[in-house]
């Protein structure tokens, strides 16, 4: 077995199964580019402070760059003997540039190193997820723009409640995505702090300059306490909480698409680009994309729970438990990214709303009943009294198999003398929607204003 990377105080070597159990190289190889960048900044700082010579730093930076290339072209494939990505890179560096490579680890520890890597990784992925959110939003906004005048039943308790503009419905998800985007922006501030130079736990005896390396790496600030710096994973938990909410929102939308695509609703048609067939039932077209998105949400929530439980009993400072943060973070990032991409494609080209079916759906129910009550209330009947009158009207209609629009004017007037010919206009679905012109409501005018506000929000970057 290859010599272990740690100190000579060990005489025996690890049991092979324990070596495998201990190793993180199988997954933390995903950090390699960030590990290299972090190490390059550390080496430059060591030269800047006179701890190593400038030529030594140059050799280290160049050697690390070569490892980056080897990784990119697939020739650098460290195995379990390397234990983790940090040892793997350092060992390769020494192979490439000789003993100077052994100076790289001066004034730092793997504890502050791994903390630096994971923050650089997460900062980068947050930027990408924010860009995906923006794209998702703009696809929904584009779709909303073409469906301001399309009506869709609005539900509470999954019972028909009041008709809506389809655009209003879609814009609700744009709002959720906006909060997601802002949450990530907030989390990013706490991800973007440098623990580099905190050492194993207590700082270092070398005259390092933590500000210098932090600045090279684009960190906005530094951990002020070395113990906190090496053992904090709040930022990862915060990220996973933000990712969980993205997953909640995508899952709710998925649930709606699944309902809408069913024979019972028939509000959308799934296109062949995003639907699959059954192996036995030839008539079927399954909404796999939203189903997978709904299903994957559980993984992300699980990671949030996993990270919280991993942290709760840890004494200061670093404990090997923290190695478990990585698979959770990677999978959380990958899952949420993949779900956002899939849902963006689904709404861009994978489904089609059926306006004729939607517009007729809202004409076949009692979702205009509130408007009858509002009609009477506007004519001076106290709202609660009007509400009770309309309850009776609905009961009569149901017993006769009629809708409100089917009542004759005589029938209306028999119910209450305030009803006049304009009742028919008041209960027409399009008018029912248009009338909800309160700020944030579904009235067409409000929806157009909301679209405008959203457009200008999306055109700003922050």
> Which chain residues interact with ligand ARG by CB under 6 A?
24, 28, 84, 110-111, 114, 318, 320, 322-323, 326
Catalytic residue among 7, 157, 399, 459: 157
105 in catalytic set: no
Q: Do the bridges between strand 268-270 and strand 351-353 make them parallel or antiparallel, or are there none, so unpaired?
A: antiparallel
Interatomic CA distance for residues 78 and 286, integer angstroms:
42
157 in catalytic set: yes
Least distance to ligand ARG, CB of residue 203, Å = 16
CB burial of 317-342 (b: ≥16 within 10 Å; e: otherwise) equals: bbeeebbbbbbbbbbbbebbbebbeb
Least distance to ligand ARG, CB of residue 322, Å = 5
Q: Which C-beta is closer to ligand ARG: that of 23 or that of 214?
A: 23
CB burial class (10 A; 0-12, 13-18, 19+) of residue 228? middle
Least distance to ligand ARG, CB of residue 443, Å = 55
Q: Which C-beta is closer to ligand ARG: that of 27 or that of 265?
A: 27
Least distance to ligand ARG, CB of residue 117, Å = 9
Taking residue 401's Cβ as centre, other Cβ atoms within 10 Å add up to 7
Least distance to ligand ARG, CB of residue 239, Å = 17
CA atoms within 13 A on the CB side of 280: 0
For the chain, the distance separating the N- and C-terminal CA atoms, rounded to the nearest angstrom, is: 53
CB burial class (10 A; 0-12, 13-18, 19+) of residue 206? middle
Question: Which residue stretches of 49-165 are H helix?
Answer: 54-72, 85-97, 110-146
Q: Which C-beta is closer to ligand ARG: that of 238 or that of 325?
A: 325
Catalytic residue among 13, 15, 262, 278: 278
Determine contact, residues 178/137, Cβ cutoff 8 Å. Answer: yes
Taking residue 97's Cβ as centre, other Cβ atoms within 10 Å add up to 19
Instruction: Please identify every residue annotated as catalytic.
Output: 157, 278
């Amino acid at each position: 077995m290859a010599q272990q990377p740690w100190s000579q105080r060990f005489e025996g070597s690890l049991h092979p199964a324990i070596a495998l159990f201990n190793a993180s190289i199988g997954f933390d190889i995903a950090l390699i580019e960030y590990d290299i960048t972090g190490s390059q900044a550390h080496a430059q700082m060591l030269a800047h402070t006179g701890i190593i010579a400038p030529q030594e730093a140059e050799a280290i930076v160049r050697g690390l760059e070569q490892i980056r290339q080897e990784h990119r072209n697939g020739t650098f494939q460290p195995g379990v003997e390397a234990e983790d990505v940090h040892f793997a890179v350092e060992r390769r560096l020494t192979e490439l540039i000789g003993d100077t490579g052994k100076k790289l680890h001066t004034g730092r520890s793997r504890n502050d190193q791994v903390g630096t890597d994971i923050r650089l990784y997460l900062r980068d992925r947050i930027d990408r997820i924010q860009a995906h959110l923006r794209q998702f939003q703009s696809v929904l906004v584009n779709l909303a723009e073409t469906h301001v005048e399309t009506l869709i039943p609005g539900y509470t308790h999954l019972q028909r409640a009041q008709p809506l503009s389809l655009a209003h419905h879609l814009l609700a998800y744009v709002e959720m995505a906006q909060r997601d985007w802002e949450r990530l922006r907030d989390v990013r501030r706490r991800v973007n702090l440098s623990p580099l130079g905190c050492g194993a736990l207590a700082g270092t005896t070398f005259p390092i300059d933590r500000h210098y390396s932090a600045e090279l790496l684009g960190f906005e600030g530094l951990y002020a306490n070395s113990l906190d710096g090496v053992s904090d994973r709040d930022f990862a938990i915060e990220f996973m909480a933000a990712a969980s909410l993205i997953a909640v929102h995508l899952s709710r939308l998925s649930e709606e698409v699944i309902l809408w695509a069913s024979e019972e609703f028939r509000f959308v048609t799934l296109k062949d680009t995003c639907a699959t067939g059954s192996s036995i039932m030839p008539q079927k077209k399954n909404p796999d994309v939203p189903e997978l998105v709904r299903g994957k949400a559980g993984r992300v929530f699980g990671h949030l729970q996993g990270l919280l439980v991993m942290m709760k009993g840890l004494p200061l400072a670093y404990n090997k438990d923290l190695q478990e943060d990585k698979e959770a973070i990677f999978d959380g990032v990958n899952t949420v990214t993949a779900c956002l991409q899939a849902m963006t494609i689904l709404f861009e080209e994978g489904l089609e709303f059926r306006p004729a079916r939607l517009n007729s759906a809202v004409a076949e129910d009692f979702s205009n009943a509130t408007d009858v009550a509002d009609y009477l209330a506007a004519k001076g009947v106290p709202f609660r009294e009007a509400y009770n009158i309309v309850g009776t009207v609905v009961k009569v209609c149901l017993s006769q198999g009629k809708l409100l629009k089917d009542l004759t004017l005589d029938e209306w007037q028999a119910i209450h003398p305030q009803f006049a010919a304009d009742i028919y206009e008041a209960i027409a679905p399009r008018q029912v929607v248009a009338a909800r012109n309160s700020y944030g409501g579904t009235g067409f005018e409000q929806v157009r204003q909301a679209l405008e506000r959203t457009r200008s929000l999306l055109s700003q970057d922050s």
